[in-house]
Amino acid sequence: MITKIDLIDITTLEYINSKIEKRITNVPVISISNVSKKGLDELIEIIEKGKTYCLLGFSGVGKSTLFNSLCGKDIMRTSSLSESTKKGRHVTTHRELILLDKGGLLIDNPGMRQVDVTDVLSGMERTFEVIYDLIND
């Protein structure tokens, strides 16, 4: 998913899409604007009842704003772009799980500041401790 497409021109968006589609096949790439709501209906269409979806990404990419858009109400706190960097800010400090109107479950997570290669299982246990505990019940 590409977010904040309202901040770039169509030529740049097409270039980014083509780069992604060359590297990743059989996965839909959806371009989203939380400002204009472009792409939101396309994303809502793929959400299925009984399935869980998780928003992961770097801080400031618009996960919580997208979460609010999908929920149809402001649940997660969001912030405007930083005036000095013109980038999103790290705002979310907790995880939130909500049942969407279509019956899918959506999880919002705090943004990542860095991505490292790690032992996946122990990393998952620490990052998603509550979810991991529920899986094992």
pLDDT-derived band of residue 90, with 50, 70 and 90 as boundaries?
Answer: very low
* Identity of the residue numbered 44: I
43 token code pair? 């994303």
Taking residues 13-40, report their average pLDDT.
89
Helix (H) or strand (E) holding 106: strand 105-108
End-to-end CA distance of the chain: 32
Is it the case that residue 15 has pLDDT exceeding 90?
A: yes
Looking at the predicted structure, is the pLDDT value of residue 111 above 70?
no
DSSP 27: S
